[in-house]
Protein backbone atom coordinates (compact mmCIF):
# COMPACT_ATOMS: atom_id res chain seq x y z
CA UNK A 1 0.00 0.00 0.00
CA UNK A 2 1.47 3.32 -1.01
CA UNK A 3 2.10 5.82 1.73
CA UNK A 4 0.07 9.03 1.56
CA UNK A 5 1.75 11.95 -0.11
CA UNK A 6 2.89 14.49 2.45
CA UNK A 7 2.02 18.10 1.66
CA UNK A 8 4.99 20.26 0.78
CA UNK A 9 5.40 23.09 3.26
CA UNK A 10 6.49 26.32 1.70
CA UNK A 11 9.28 28.25 3.36
CA UNK A 12 9.11 31.84 4.58
CA UNK A 13 10.94 33.07 1.50
CA UNK A 14 8.28 31.51 -0.73
CA UNK A 15 5.57 33.72 0.77
CA UNK A 16 4.55 36.45 -1.72
CA UNK A 17 3.93 39.00 1.05
CA UNK A 18 7.35 38.27 2.55
CA UNK A 19 9.31 38.51 -0.68
CA UNK A 20 7.56 41.75 -1.70
CA UNK A 21 7.50 43.39 1.74
CA UNK A 22 10.03 46.07 0.79
CA UNK A 23 7.62 47.46 -1.83
CA UNK A 24 5.12 48.34 0.89
CA UNK A 25 7.59 50.43 2.84
CA UNK A 26 9.05 51.94 -0.31
CA UNK A 27 5.66 52.93 -1.73
CA UNK A 28 4.71 54.74 1.48
CA UNK A 29 8.02 56.16 2.65
CA UNK A 30 9.86 56.84 -0.62
CA UNK A 31 7.80 59.82 -1.82
CA UNK A 32 7.64 61.32 1.68
CA UNK A 33 11.42 61.07 2.04
CA UNK A 34 11.96 62.84 -1.28
CA UNK A 35 9.48 65.54 -0.22
CA UNK A 36 11.33 66.00 3.09
CA UNK A 37 14.62 66.47 1.21
CA UNK A 38 13.14 69.31 -0.84
CA UNK A 39 11.26 70.99 1.99
CA UNK A 40 12.10 73.56 4.60
CA UNK A 41 12.92 71.85 7.90
CA UNK A 42 10.32 72.27 10.63
CA UNK A 43 12.97 73.41 13.08
CA UNK A 44 14.93 76.08 11.27
CA UNK A 45 15.65 77.99 14.48
CA UNK A 46 16.11 77.01 18.08
CA UNK A 47 19.20 74.81 18.64
CA UNK A 48 17.70 73.28 21.80
CA UNK A 49 14.74 71.72 20.00
CA UNK A 50 16.92 70.67 17.08
CA UNK A 51 19.27 68.95 19.54
CA UNK A 52 16.29 67.13 21.06
CA UNK A 53 15.20 65.85 17.64
CA UNK A 54 18.76 64.72 16.84
CA UNK A 55 19.06 62.98 20.22
CA UNK A 56 15.83 61.05 19.62
CA UNK A 57 17.08 60.19 16.14
CA UNK A 58 20.34 58.82 17.55
CA UNK A 59 18.42 56.82 20.14
CA UNK A 60 16.43 55.09 17.42
CA UNK A 61 19.51 54.54 15.24
CA UNK A 62 21.49 52.92 18.06
CA UNK A 63 18.43 50.79 18.86
CA UNK A 64 18.25 49.78 15.19
CA UNK A 65 21.88 48.63 15.07
CA UNK A 66 21.70 46.84 18.43
CA UNK A 67 18.42 45.01 17.76
CA UNK A 68 19.33 43.92 14.23
CA UNK A 69 22.73 42.50 15.26
CA UNK A 70 21.28 40.87 18.38
CA UNK A 71 18.47 39.20 16.45
CA UNK A 72 20.79 38.09 13.63
CA UNK A 73 23.08 36.38 16.16
CA UNK A 74 20.12 34.28 17.28
CA UNK A 75 18.26 33.53 14.05
CA UNK A 76 20.82 33.98 11.28
CA UNK A 77 20.82 31.02 8.91
CA UNK A 78 18.16 28.96 10.72
CA UNK A 79 14.98 30.91 9.99
CA UNK A 80 13.09 28.01 8.41
CA UNK A 81 14.75 25.21 10.38
CA UNK A 82 14.64 26.24 14.03
CA UNK A 83 12.05 28.20 15.99
CA UNK A 84 14.01 30.74 18.00
CA UNK A 85 12.29 31.77 21.24
CA UNK A 86 15.19 33.11 23.33
CA UNK A 87 17.06 36.39 23.51
CA UNK A 88 15.31 39.11 21.48
CA UNK A 89 12.77 36.53 20.29
CA UNK A 90 11.59 36.00 23.86
CA UNK A 91 10.30 39.58 24.16
CA UNK A 92 8.95 40.05 20.60
CA UNK A 93 8.23 37.65 17.76
CA UNK A 94 9.69 40.02 15.17
CA UNK A 95 12.80 41.81 16.46
CA UNK A 96 14.23 42.27 12.97
CA UNK A 97 11.14 44.22 11.90
CA UNK A 98 11.33 46.19 15.15
CA UNK A 99 14.93 47.13 14.37
CA UNK A 100 14.02 48.27 10.86
CA UNK A 101 11.18 50.36 12.31
CA UNK A 102 13.68 52.06 14.63
CA UNK A 103 15.82 52.98 11.62
CA UNK A 104 12.81 54.51 9.86
CA UNK A 105 12.00 56.59 12.93
CA UNK A 106 15.62 57.74 13.24
CA UNK A 107 15.45 59.15 9.70
CA UNK A 108 12.11 60.81 10.52
CA UNK A 109 13.62 62.73 13.42
CA UNK A 110 16.85 63.58 11.64
CA UNK A 111 14.85 64.99 8.70
CA UNK A 112 12.33 66.65 11.07
CA UNK A 113 9.44 65.39 8.96
CA UNK A 114 5.98 65.02 10.49
CA UNK A 115 4.63 63.50 7.28
CA UNK A 116 7.37 60.88 7.31
CA UNK A 117 6.49 59.99 10.91
CA UNK A 118 2.83 59.52 9.99
CA UNK A 119 3.65 57.41 6.94
CA UNK A 120 6.15 55.34 8.94
CA UNK A 121 3.32 54.53 11.33
CA UNK A 122 1.13 53.66 8.34
CA UNK A 123 3.82 51.38 6.91
CA UNK A 124 4.20 49.74 10.33
CA UNK A 125 0.46 49.11 10.44
CA UNK A 126 0.60 47.55 6.95
CA UNK A 127 3.41 45.24 8.04
CA UNK A 128 1.56 44.24 11.20
CA UNK A 129 -1.70 43.77 9.27
CA UNK A 130 -0.43 41.85 6.21
CA UNK A 131 3.30 41.10 6.01
CA UNK A 132 3.95 39.64 9.47
CA UNK A 133 0.77 37.47 9.50
CA UNK A 134 1.73 36.05 6.08
CA UNK A 135 5.16 35.12 7.38
CA UNK A 136 3.77 33.72 10.62
CA UNK A 137 1.28 31.57 8.72
CA UNK A 138 4.24 29.87 7.06
CA UNK A 139 6.03 29.47 10.38
CA UNK A 140 2.87 27.99 11.87
CA UNK A 141 2.78 25.39 9.07
CA UNK A 142 6.43 24.52 9.67
CA UNK A 143 6.55 24.41 13.48
CA UNK A 144 2.91 23.62 14.29
CA UNK A 145 1.85 23.64 17.95
CA UNK A 146 5.27 24.84 19.10
CA UNK A 147 4.82 28.09 17.15
CA UNK A 148 1.18 28.51 18.20
CA UNK A 149 2.17 28.32 21.88
CA UNK A 150 5.01 30.77 21.27
CA UNK A 151 2.60 33.11 19.44
CA UNK A 152 0.18 33.13 22.38
CA UNK A 153 2.77 34.17 24.96
CA UNK A 154 4.97 36.56 22.94
CA UNK A 155 3.87 39.95 21.52
CA UNK A 156 3.97 40.38 17.75
CA UNK A 157 6.11 43.55 17.56
CA UNK A 158 6.21 45.79 20.65
CA UNK A 159 8.63 44.10 23.08
CA UNK A 160 7.67 43.01 26.58
CA UNK A 161 10.93 43.00 28.60
CA UNK A 162 9.41 41.00 31.48
CA UNK A 163 9.33 37.95 29.18
CA UNK A 164 13.07 37.98 28.52
CA UNK A 165 14.76 34.56 28.52
CA UNK A 166 18.42 34.11 27.67
CA UNK A 167 19.63 31.16 25.60
CA UNK A 168 22.15 28.83 27.31
CA UNK A 169 24.29 28.92 24.14
CA UNK A 170 24.15 30.74 20.82
CA UNK A 171 25.67 29.31 17.64
CA UNK A 172 27.04 32.25 15.68
CA UNK A 173 26.95 31.99 11.88
CA UNK A 174 29.26 34.36 10.08
CA UNK A 175 27.51 34.53 6.70
CA UNK A 176 24.25 36.08 8.04
CA UNK A 177 26.33 38.46 10.14
CA UNK A 178 28.26 39.59 7.07
CA UNK A 179 24.99 40.16 5.23
CA UNK A 180 23.62 42.19 8.13
CA UNK A 181 26.88 44.14 8.36
CA UNK A 182 26.44 45.20 4.73
CA UNK A 183 22.93 46.45 5.53
CA UNK A 184 24.25 48.42 8.50
CA UNK A 185 26.99 49.98 6.37
CA UNK A 186 24.40 51.11 3.81
CA UNK A 187 22.24 52.51 6.64
CA UNK A 188 25.26 54.40 7.98
CA UNK A 189 25.91 55.90 4.55
CA UNK A 190 22.27 57.00 4.40
CA UNK A 191 22.77 58.66 7.77
CA UNK A 192 25.85 60.51 6.48
CA UNK A 193 23.76 61.85 3.60
CA UNK A 194 20.99 62.90 5.96
CA UNK A 195 23.45 64.83 8.15
CA UNK A 196 24.98 66.51 5.12
CA UNK A 197 21.56 67.55 3.82
CA UNK A 198 21.19 70.74 5.95
CA UNK A 199 24.29 72.20 4.29
CA UNK A 200 22.64 71.83 0.90
CA UNK A 201 19.23 72.98 2.15
CA UNK A 202 20.83 76.18 3.47
CA UNK A 203 22.19 77.06 0.02
CA UNK A 204 20.24 79.58 -2.03
CA UNK A 205 20.24 77.30 -5.08
CA UNK A 206 18.65 74.34 -3.29
CA UNK A 207 15.04 73.84 -4.50
CA UNK A 208 12.27 74.05 -1.89
CA UNK A 209 8.99 72.77 -3.23
CA UNK A 210 7.29 72.52 0.17
CA UNK A 211 7.20 74.77 3.22
CA UNK A 212 7.45 71.71 5.49
CA UNK A 213 6.52 68.05 5.47
Whole-model pTM: value is: 0.84
Residues 91-110 have pLDDT tens digits of 999 999 999 999 999 998 98
Is the Cα dihedral 99, 24, 37, 121 positive or negative? negative
Distance from chain centroid for Cα 155: 16
Residues 133-146 have pLDDT tens digits of 988 988 999 999 99
Give the C-alpha separation, 102 to 118, whole Å.
14
- Helix 95-111 and helix 174-201, axial crossing angle in degrees, nearest 10: 10
Residues 180-194 have pLDDT tens digits of 999 999 999 999 998
- Per-residue pLDDT at 6: 47
Q: Name the H helices within the chain.
A: 16-19, 21-37, 47-75, 95-111, 114-126, 132-143, 145-153, 174-201
Residues 50-107 have pLDDT tens digits of 788 889 999 999 999 999 999 999 998 777 788 999 999 999 999 999 999 999 999 9
Q: What CATH code would you report for 44-200?
A: 1.20.120
Q: Which of 58, 42, 45 has its CA nearest to residue 111?
A: 42
| Domain range list for the chain | 44-200
Amino acid sequence: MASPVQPVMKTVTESWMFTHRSWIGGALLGPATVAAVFAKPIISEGPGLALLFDSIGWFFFVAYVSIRIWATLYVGGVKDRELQTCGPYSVTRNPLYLGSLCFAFSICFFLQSLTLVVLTLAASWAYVRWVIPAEEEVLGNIFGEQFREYKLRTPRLIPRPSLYAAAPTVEVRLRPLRTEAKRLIIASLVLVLVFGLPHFQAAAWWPRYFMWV
